[in-house]
Structure formats: C-alpha cells, structure tokens
Amino acid sequence: MFDDRVYKRGALALHAIRRSLGDEAFFSALAAYTLAFRHGHVTTDDFVTFFSQHTGSRVVGKFVDRWVMQAALPSL
C-alpha cells in the first residue's frame, strides 16, 4: 500500500509522457480525457488507449509500462 508505485510512479509517468508529447498535445489530451471520463471509472488501459488515440502517439503505453508496471524505476 505504501510502496513507490502508489506515490511516485503515476506522477513520474505523466511527467515523462508530457515531456515526450510536448505541453500542447499533453494538456489538450488531459483536458479531453478528464471531460470524457468525468464522473466515471477508468483503468490504466483506458488512459493509454485514450491518450494514444487523442495524440496519435504510440509512446504512451511504453511510458506507462516502464514507469508504472515494471518493478525497477527507469533512469531519468
């Protein structure tokens, strides 16, 4: 419950995705994502699918896998 996946991983993954996509694409996708899924429940796969489709980028799933799903933190 208190390991680094809970407190660091999500924020680091989002930061890595933002740096890869650029601010304009990232924040546009983020605004659309929160609007599309407000008052609902989502999964990590929902996030990856939505961001990938909205931005046309295939890197989102790779970042989520590296930063969230893998045991070791990748190098910055």
Q: What whole-number distance in Å separates Cα of residue 68 and Cα of residue 6?
A: 9
Domain carrying residue 8: 4-69
Show the tokens assigned to 29. Answer: 């996708």
Please check whether residue 74 lies inside any domain of the structure. Answer: no
31 falls within a domain: yes
Determine the Cα–Cα distance for residues 15 and 63; give it in Å rounded to an integer.
10
Residue 75 falls inside a structural domain? no
* pLDDT number for residue 1: 58
DSSP for 20-38, written as a single string: HH-HHHHHHHHHHHHHHHT
Q: Based on the structure, what is the number of domains in the chain?
A: 1
How sure is the predictor about 14, in pLDDT bands with cuts at 50, 70 and 90?
A: very high
Span 29-71, pLDDT tens digits: 999 999 999 999 999 999 999 999 999 998 999 999 988 888 7
